[in-house]
Structure 1
Amino acid sequence: MSPSPPQLSPKELSAYFAFTEVSSLLRHSVEKQLKDAGQLSYVQFQLLARLGDAPGGSQRMTDLADGVVYSRSGLTYQVQLLEQRGLVTRAPSPEDERSTIATITDDGRGVLATVFPGHIATVKDLLFDSLTADDIEGLERVLTQVSAHLRANPPRSAGSRKKS
C-alpha cells in the first residue's frame, strides 16, 4: 500500500488561494500602471529598480537574473529592449570578460522617476491601506520567511551564482 499524497488543511488551502488571488490582482494592477506610466513590463521595472539601487547603477546580468527570478535568456531579451530605448547600457565586465554588466542610464533613471509615484500609490492603495501596522509587520515577517525557504533550494534562475 503506497502512502497517501500530502494534503493541505482547510486553513492552508484557504491561505494558498487567498495568496494567489492577491498576487494575481495586485500584479495585474501594477503591470497596468507601469505600462501606462512608463511603457515598462513588470520585469523591466524590476530590472531598472534594481539597477537604480545598485552601487554605480550597475550589476552583472547573472546577478540581475537571480534577483528577479528570471531566466538568463529572458533577462537578456528584456535588457536588450531596455537598451534599445536608451534606458540601460551593457558592457563586458572589467573583472571577468565572461560576464556582462548592465548599467542604468540617466534616461532610465528618468523613467523610474516617472513611474515610481504611481507605482507606490498603486501598491499602497491596493495592498497596504487595508492593513494595520501590525498586519504589515506580520506580512513582511511571513513573506521574508517563505522567501528564505524558497531560495534555500531555488530554481536555477533564483539561485545566486558563485562568483569566480
Structure 2
Amino acid sequence: MTDPDPSLDPAQLGAYLTLMEVAGLLRHAVEQQLREAGDLSYVQFQILARLGLDLRTGSARMTDLADGVVYSRSGLTYQARLLEEAGLVTRSPSETDERGVTVTITEAGRALLATVLPGHTEVVSRQLFQPLTREDTRTLADLLTPVRDHMRSLPPRSAVPRRRR
C-alpha cells in the first residue's frame, strides 16, 4: 500500500539514510579491492561478471547490459571500449538487431574475473554479511527483492527517451 503523502516519516528517512550509507561504504570497499586485484572499476567488474557469470553464452546486447548494470548507454559504451582495448571483451554487430552491438567476454576476461572474484566475495562477505545471521540475510533478501522488482517494473533506462540538448 502506498501513502498518498510523498514525504518520508522519520523511520523511512532513517532507513533510507542507513541504506545509502551501507551502500556507499560497501561500494568503496569493493572498488578498492577491484582496483588492487585487477585494475578494474566497479562498472567494469559488473560488465565482466554479468557476461561471465550470469549469461551462459558470455554475450549480451549493449542496451540490455546497460539496463542490467544500471548504467547509461554512453557510459557503458566507454567502459566496454576500455575492456575491449584490454582484450577482456569483444564487441560486434548484433545478429538480431541491425543497430545493436553485442559484447562478449573473452578468455582473458574470464581469467581476470576468476582472479578478482575470490577477493570480491571475501569483501562482500566481511563487510555485508559478517554481522548478520542466516535469518537476517534471508530477511534482508526478502525485504529488498520486492523493492528491486518494483523499481525494475518501471521502464528500463534504455527505454527512457534521451533528453535533447
- Per the TM superposition, whether the score is higher than 0.5 is yes
Which one is further off, 80-89 or 97-106? 97-106
Q: 2:158 & 2:120 partners in 1: Cα distance?
A: 25
After superposition, the C-alpha distances for 1:104-155 in whole angstroms (9 at most, x for unaligned) are 0010001101100100000000000100111100111111111111112246
Between the aligned residues of both structures, percent identity stands at 60
Preserved contact between residue 67 and residue 156 of structure 2 (Cα < 8 Å): no
- Once superposed, which parts of structure 1, at least 4 consecutive aligned residues long, lie more than 3 Å away? none
Note the C-alpha offset of 1:89. 0.2
Preserved contact between residue 67 and residue 158 of structure 1 (Cα < 8 Å): no
Q: 1:119 & 1:35 partners in 2: Cα distance?
A: 11
Give structure 1 stretches of 5+ with no counterpart: 160-164
Q: Tell me which residue corresponds to 1:118.
A: 119
Scaled by the length of structure 1, the TM-score of the pair is 0.89
Scaled by the length of structure 2, the TM-score of the pair is 0.89
Q: 2:143 & 2:159 partners in 1: Cα distance?
A: 19
Preserved contact between residue 65 and residue 157 of structure 1 (Cα < 8 Å): yes
Q: When the two structures are aligned, how many residues end up with a matched partner? A: 156
Question: What letter is aligned with 1:60?
Answer: R
Q: Tell me which residue corresponds to 1:108.
A: 109
Q: Tell me which residue corresponds to 1:46.
A: 46
Note the C-alpha offset of 1:97. 2.2
Q: Tell me which residue corresponds to 1:162.
A: none
Preserved contact between residue 47 and residue 68 of structure 1 (Cα < 8 Å): yes
Q: How much is the aligned-residue C-alpha RMSD, in angstroms?
A: 1.7
